[in-house]
Chain A
């Protein structure tokens, strides 16, 4: 399953990069959501997949009973999901604000910093 997931993650990343390169801010946001999902899955998968054994310590034990799932990547991914959400919320607001202020949703038309005359 890990190998299959690795291939799926590759496809997710490819789709995300393709969307982010579109120059359309809304599609960029879609790409951002996809790539952060792909990143979380990468960390999770790299820590190996263990079905049906969450990292818990049963009552009366000092450690987990038997082999349980790798707790470390889970903790990392949990943090990453939340931070990814913060980034996403800010990006969405920024896109919306850019649309209101500049009247365009395409990155290549947002050229206040680098007007076309200067590029030659």
Chain B
């Protein structure tokens, strides 16, 4: 990805500015350590949508602070790293904007104390990560993978929103701390199962658990710093965070226990097999991330103090070593131009700092003493053994996964640097200190915490366990030497197993190729997307024909269906059409109207059509005269004359009507009959209901005393509704101006 040789200066202030922001945030969060380690929490709330009871509420407790420190701390190092890694990239300004926005969204997510606010930040991380994965937008693969991540996690987020609303309604509050304060009471609510499934859908898509795992390795299309940040320490852990956040209220039931345990274990084992299968180092790390997420989800399925302590520890361990290793791989890529495991070798002496970070982080990942990874693994085993229902199977699965991860750690962190059998890879670019700092700091932290676990014990681990269980006493001791016990033997077994896996990893990798033949949701995804497109094209060509008459037919059909549906749904008042008062003159008048209409519809002569329209117009005027509307009749007559004159003038310039056969169109006739019939029905319905004359009565009584006019219609028009009439005049003037413009344009065109 790097466009030029990385330099420590990178993009200057554009890179250092956001780094400083992240660092400031990190330091600010450090300031909360005393409060939080005392078992307290800090919170703020500003009313946001008071009508819905939604506040911009934030809260810092153990779990939130652990996440916030990881996000801002790793964010600082990643931003510093990216500044050099993307030296010379012309779009770095965009990149740094996306990455910083992502970091802030992620911080918002872990600090939010309101379900809806949490959802908003959740979606912000989805969108910003979409932009980051698709950063190399000139490659089709990266666009596809970005969209895949967006759709999949976006769909999960919608499920989560539904779950959040159900949860908020069930608990009577959207404030997370208040929901949690109700304890497990929520589990008796009739909607609890639905809430749980919806929350699972959101969390498990975000954290890429089987069978939604496929988007995460694809998301490696992003530049390496993004992978290091999003896909190790932060975004993918949002799902884990959500499960952990709701753990106190929602855990304990069978659905919670079995879903999370089974999916977590399957993900962990499956992903670690696939990790060994990869030859691209970054892909291998992506799958080990899946393994770690699986382990975390599995731990959250439990309730025991060991499992919770293991969760809190493993969360930190994993973020430290995984971000470090991603950055190491980025360094290898920047230095040599390749990430293929078989092409890399002998780099230990050329890239000493990177090699040191790789070794420390790799050993932490492998779970060797005295690193923090060892403690995390021991606690995980202890947590597994506490599971009441099937400790043996779980432990064996965890053993298998850990052994595989040990082998992968060796492949990623040791082999490219120290293996004697590998050819020496030529180094093209030097690695500036800014790119070495990140992995070294993270890896050294993992070592320090391993040697002195007391540093973490009361500051972060215990408060996190408090957030998870509500009881700080549940926290188990973090120690390198926990005595001779079953977890220790499991650890020893892991080392043996991992060593064997590493020794035979080339053979195993070839064998594991058969995993590629498993039914794969990734390919199903492509077919799914293609079918959406096909459907859209088919639908569009159906409804967007580009033919005006089709659009009008749809419009008129909608009117007809709307009217008929209203009549059917609301029912009609009893219709009482009365023809008693019909006189012969009335019949003649109706005959005049209908014959004119008929003539205008079927005629093939222009002049006949004009005459027929004239007849209809006169007929309407006669209706007005008969039924006491002299003013309306006069207007109608005047307008009718103008209409006929205009039509006559224009028609004579248009082609003759008989050149265009007026074929009978049955479909259009049905639509026309539908509209006409429904108008009649509605009008009959109106005539069957009593008339509300209140307005008319007002005008009749006020016309003379208030406006001094004896013609009530005229008074309404020029006095009570004068502004209406003014608007009407404006419409006519606008129409006249527009017509003149059209006519003028033509004259110019001719000359």
- Please give the residue numbers on chain A whose beta carbons come within 8 Å of chain B beta carbons, in ascending order: 1-24, 26-27, 29-30, 33-34, 37-38, 40-42, 44-59, 61-64, 68-72, 74-75, 77-79, 81-90, 92-97, 99-101, 105-108, 110-111, 114-116, 118-120
- CB of B727, distance to nearest CB on chain A (Å): 9
Contact with A along B325-342 (1 / 0, CB 8 A): 000000000000000000
Instruction: Please choose the segment from B155-163, B271-279, B650-658 that sits at the chain A interface, where 4 or more of its residues have CB less than 8 A away.
Output: B650-658
Interface of B is mostly: helix
> Is B484 an interface residue, CB under 8 A from the partner?
no
Bound together, the chains give a CA A95 to CA B709 distance in angstroms of 42
Cα of A75 to Cα of B722 in the assembled complex, Å: 11
CB distance from B627 to the nearest CB of A (A): 4
B16 within 8 A of A: no
Residue in contact with B683 in the complex, picked from A23, A45, A107, CB distance below 8 Å: A45
Q: Would A72 and B716 count as touching, CB distance under 8 A?
A: yes
Q: List the 5 closest A-B pairs by CB distance, nearest first.
A: A14-B676, A10-B680, A3-B577, A69-B628, A86-B735
A-B contact pairs, 25 of them (CB 8 A): A3-B579, A3-B687, A11-B597, A17-B675, A21-B668, A22-B662, A29-B647, A33-B613, A33-B616, A37-B616, A40-B620, A55-B711, A57-B704, A79-B717, A86-B732, A90-B739, A92-B650, A93-B739, A93-B743, A96-B654, A100-B746, A100-B749, A105-B655, A114-B546, A119-B544
Q: In the bound complex, do residue B712 and residue A90 qualify as a contact, i.e. CB atoms below 8 Å apart?
A: no
Contact assessment for A21 and B672 in the assembled complex, using a CB-CB cutoff below 8 Å: yes
- Chain A nearest CB: distance from B719 CB in Å? 11
Q: How many Å lie between the Cα of A24 and that of B627 in the bound state?
A: 36
Q: A118: which B residues are within 8 A, CB to CB?
A: 546
| In contact, B545 and A119 (Cβ under 8 angstroms) | yes
For residue B633, give the distance in angstroms from its CB to the closest CB of chain A.
Answer: 10
Interface size class of B (residues with CB under 8 A): 35 or more
Residues of A within 8 A of B597 (CB): 11-12, 15, 34
How far is A106 from B743 in the complex, measured between Cα atoms in Å?
20
Q: A56-B710, A89-B735 are in contact. List 10 more A-B contacts (CB 8 A).
A: A33-B643, A34-B600, A54-B628, A54-B630, A56-B712, A57-B710, A71-B699, A71-B716, A101-B749, A105-B654
CB pair A86–B712 under 8 Å, yes or no, is no
A71 CB, min distance to chain B CBs, angstroms = 4
Bound together, the chains give a CA A41 to CA B669 distance in angstroms of 22
Q: Which B residues contact A (CB, under 8 angstroms)?
A: 541, 544-549, 552-553, 556, 577-579, 581-582, 586, 590, 593-594, 597-598, 600-601, 606, 609, 613, 616-617, 620, 623-624, 626-632, 635-636, 639, 642-643, 646-647, 650-651, 653-655, 657, 660, 662, 665, 668-669, 671-673, 675-677, 679-681, 683-684, 686-687, 691, 693, 695-696, 699-701, 703-705, 709-713, 716-717, 721, 724-725, 728, 731-732, 734-736, 738-739, 742-743, 745-746, 749
| Alpha-carbon distance A83/B679, docked complex (angstroms) | 21
Chain A residues within 8 Å of B552, by CB: 20-21
Of B578, B627, B711, B739, which contacts A51 at CB under 8 A? B627
A63: chain B residues within 8 A (beta carbon): 700-701, 703-704
* B627 and A6 contact, CB distance less than 8 A: no
Query: Chain A contacts of B635 at CB under 8 A?
Result: 78, 81-82
Q: Are A44 and B654 in contact (CB under 8 A)?
A: no
Q: Is the CB of B626 within 8 A of A19?
A: no
Q: Is the CB of B647 within 8 A of A82?
A: no
Complex-state Cα separation, A85 to B544, whole angstroms: 32
CB <8 Å contact, A72 and B696? yes
